[in-house]
Structure 1
Amino acid sequence: MFEIRIICLPSDAKRVLSGLSETFTTGAVRQYLGRDDERIRLYVTAEHREDTEAWPTPDEAYALAPSIVSEIGWTAQRAREALWPLHSTDVREFWLRKAALLDRIALDDGTASVHTDAPELALNAARKLREVDRDGDGRHWGSPYWPEHAEAIANPRAYVRQEYAHWAKHH
């Protein structure tokens, strides 16, 4: 169990607490005036939810993936073709495969204890994929977590693995 302190405008309190309850199992909320008399301080005890489903492991997600070298070639070719703006399915496939590629490189670097910018690049590409899926035409898998879900927001690279695992099985 842990405690969360939130300082916000009174008009934002309900929305903030609703978002917390989607992510955590929350206890009673204690509310106090803020020091500036405009905002309020909320204190809430929380625990990680037991009902969240597990993300696919990297081994599960990338079991059907082509080699990293092959994916680098595919991604570079699509970027070089500069067919922007692509059709929505092409944009999604590009960002899905690019995010998965960068995630795999970051995982390999972590296993080899090599410090590169791959984790940051993987995170940025994962966030871009979530953005594409959130604003797109609903072609994402979204099971168990859709792009707007708090778990997907908190774990963008895990979201990539979820989406890639589904895409690889059905592509």
Structure 2
Amino acid sequence: MFEIRVICDPDDTDRVIDTLGSVFTTWSAHRETTPDGSRTRVHLSVEHRPAPQEWPAPEQAYATAPSIISEIGWVARTAAERPFGTEMSREFWLRKAALLDRIALGDNVAPPVSDATTDADRAARRLMDADDAAVICDPRHYVRQQYAHWATESTS
């Protein structure tokens, strides 16, 4: 972490902070007026952003996945067999999120006839919460990455 200090026109303050926020991860911004009152001093605590990750394409992530119908059955059975009040496993949340992602991908090809995209996003965020994932990305990309990794590990 390091600090950036900027002195700028008060009208430019928000734009300067937003621009720095697009390049760095910002932690805090402190603003104060210069003694003569004509400028604004901005102190930002920032950190370099990690290099962008390569996310697997859906075709790559789901290359060995069972059929959608088979996965619907697995998710439904697993949910039904869970004793009341117990937490679902990470595998459940991952496979459910991947299933909904795959269904939503079909909505991208044809006109949407369901809430699949909304449901896929919600399930992906649930998986990220379960994993306590400290990444900033499209949640469905995260699901694809995690599913591809899980599929590789589970067949090894």
Q: Give the TM-score normalised by the residue count of structure 2.
A: 0.67
- The answer to whether residue 24 in structure 2 is matched with residue 21 in structure 1 is yes
* Contact 1:75–1:97 (8 Å) recurs in 2: yes
Distance 2:122 2:101 in 1: 10
Q: Which of residues 117, 120, 125 is equivalent to 1:119? A: 117
TM-fit CA distance, 1:4: 6.8
1:77: which partner in 2?
Answer: 77
TM-fit CA distance, 1:157: 0.5
2:99: which partner in 1?
Answer: 101
TM-superposition CA deviations, 1:94-128 (whole Å, max 9, x none): 00000000000000111122242100100000000
Change (3 A) 1:4 1:118: farther
* Contact 1:32–1:41 (8 Å) recurs in 2: yes
TM-fit CA distance, 1:41: 10
2:37: which partner in 1?
Answer: none
TM-superposition CA deviations, 1:24-74 (whole Å, max 9, x none): xxxxx9x576xxxxxx997x9xxxx89412210000000010000000000
Alignment of 1:9-158 (within 5 A): 21-22=24-25, 51-83=51-83, 84-86=85-87, 91-134=89-132, 147-151=133-137, 155-158=138-141
Change (3 A) 1:51 1:95: same
Change (3 A) 1:20 1:133: farther
* Contact 1:22–1:150 (8 Å) recurs in 2: no
- The answer to whether residue 143 in structure 2 is matched with residue 160 in structure 1 is yes
Distance 1:126 1:117 in 2: 14
Counterpart secondary structure, 2:114: coil
Distance 2:151 2:122 in 1: 21
Change (3 A) 1:80 1:4: farther
Q: Determine which structure has more spread, i.e. the larger CA radius of gyration.
A: 2
* Contact 1:68–1:101 (8 Å) recurs in 2: yes
Distance 1:79 1:157 in 2: 21
- Code of the residue aligned with 1:121 in structure 2: it is D
TM-fit CA distance, 1:20: 6.0
Counterpart secondary structure, 2:24: helix
Identity of aligned residues (%): 47
